[in-house]
Amino acid sequence: MTDPAVTVSEAGEAAVLEVLRGPGGPAGVDRGDGDLVGNGDDAAVLGAASATVVTTDMLVQDTHFRLDLTSWSEIGRRAVAQNVSDVLAMGADCTRVVVAVAVPPGTTMGQIADLADGIHGEAARSGAVVVGGDFTSATVVVVGVTAIGSLPPGARPLRIDTARPGDRIALTGDPGRSAAGLALMLAGHPDGTLQRTHRVPVTPVGSGTAARLGGANALTDVSDGLVRDLSGMMRASGTAADLTTATLPVDPLLDEAAVTLGTVGRAARVLDWVLDGGEDHGLLGTFPAGATIPPEFTVIGVVREGRPGEVTLDGVPRVPGGWDSARGPN
């Protein structure tokens, strides 16, 4: 192992790539996963697949994370997690990951090793292996991940535009945890469960496949906020959705966070986190009558005919808040 205090510009590209490559081993080593060529060649070559799921997403310093609030390992975990989440949202499991990393020249090899630990650790948690990468320099840290999954023969991918009137709407996890965690961090409370959730979302590994096997009509992941992503799914499907406050899952930690952050408007603040908080990366699906909704999903509403994209809460139209990547938070 290189001295962790050595910078990437001192160590050179080959040493950095060796660290980023991680435990997968060099090209030519058969890792038993059916791949023909792994890391270290011009490209990876994956074995036969009946259908391949592909998605890409980039994490950018000062847009998605701050180096003073997030560890290098967390950056790696989060970059992988948010892409895995998109593969799960097609009703698939993630099997492979390729990673492109850009860092300033003064970044140390110890930081690169932490980043690699996060990337490989999260990939392993998701059941995936890292099969390729790219390394370059930039004035800010950028981690681009492409996640790949496969669907078994005949399996139907769970699209975003196939929700149908009458479907029940259901969600994994507790929305708003990431947003509440960020609010706590920005208010000077760096540590805690919600803060960890913000830094590294816990993707519901296996739940995309479970939704598919259970007979879901449509599935997406909640990255920009529950109402925004639900509205997007409804618009794509030409349908509308009705939510009820009483059925929304509200983690008690959100109430605690609101208390910590101040006494005015606590209930509204919690509801905003739940409805508009982004980056939880839970799965949001619609299930027709007769479908088996997996136990990790909570039913929060119903799909109906109506103005495409409209979402109501207790009968009142709700305008999406949440995150817009071009404009920032609304």
Residue pointed to by tokens 């989440």: 85
Q: Which is nearer to a second copy, 148 or 180 (CB)?
A: 148
Three-state DSSP class for 243? strand
CB of 314 to a second copy, least distance (A): 27
Q: Which is nearer to a second copy, 148 or 194 (CB)?
A: 148
What's the one-letter identity of residue 219? L
Q: Which is nearer to a second copy, 167 or 251 (CB)?
A: 167
Q: Which is nearer to a second copy, 200 or 283 (CB)?
A: 283
Which residues partner with 254 through β-bridges? Answer: none
The CA angle 265-269-274, to the nearest 5 degrees, is 155
CB of 95 to a second copy, least distance (A): 11
Closest CA to 78 of 245, 262, 244, 202: 202
CB of 298 to a second copy, least distance (A): 20
CB of 210 to a second copy, least distance (A): 16
Closest CA to 258 of 249, 250, 267: 267
Q: Which is nearer to a second copy, 92 or 243 (CB)?
A: 92
Q: Which is nearer to a second copy, 27 or 313 (CB)?
A: 27
CB of 40 to a second copy, least distance (A): 7
CB of 138 to a second copy, least distance (A): 4
**Residue 155 host element (H or E):** none
13-21 and 109-125 are packed helices; what angle lies between their axes, rounded to 10 degrees? 30
Give the Cα separation of 76 and 71 in Å (integer). Answer: 9
Q: Given CA atoms 239, 240, 246, 248 in this order, what sign does their dihedral have?
A: positive
Q: Which is nearer to a second copy, 81 or 160 (CB)?
A: 160
CB of 148 to a second copy, least distance (A): 7
Q: Where are the alpha helices (DSSP H) in 89-164?
A: 109-125
Q: Which is nearer to a second copy, 37 or 205 (CB)?
A: 37
Give the Cα separation of 217 and 158 in Å (integer). Answer: 7
From residue 229, give the alpha-carbon distance in Å to each of 47, 84, 169. Answer: 33, 17, 12
Closest CA to 98 of 127, 77, 119: 119
CB of 194 to a second copy, least distance (A): 23
Q: Which two tokens stand for residue 268?
A: 């509204």
User: Could you tell me how many residues make up the chain?
Assistant: 330
